[in-house]
Amino acid sequence: MAIEPDCRNQDLGKNLIFEVLKIMKEKSIKHVKVAANLNNAAVNRLLSNIGFKRERVFNLFNRCHCLYSYELR
């Protein structure tokens, strides 16, 4: 997911993630995993603020990424 620079800081990313989580919950999905580039501070902060838990850091295509998990209740 990416948000155009002119459209940032309007909660679009957060709202989109909440909508996807809502749909996943309706489909009885219980566990979500997301990877984000370690250097993308905004996304890492957003995922943490929403409640995603960082599980580990890993290398993909010579770049460090964070793996996050989220439990749907």
What does the pLDDT look like over 1-15, one tens digit per residue? 788 888 888 989 999
Q: What is the mean pLDDT of residues 17-24?
A: 96
Stretch 57-63: mean pLDDT, rounded? Answer: 94
- Summary mean pLDDT of the chain: 94
Element (H or E) spanning 60, and its range?
Answer: strand 53-60
Average pLDDT over residues 53-68: 96
Amino acid at 60: L
Query: Residue 65's CB: how many other CB atoms inside 10 A?
Result: 19
Side-chain-side CA neighbours of 59 within 13 Å: the count stands at 2
Distance CA 71, CA 20 (A): 13
CATH number 3.30.70 is the correct assignment for the domain at 30-73: yes
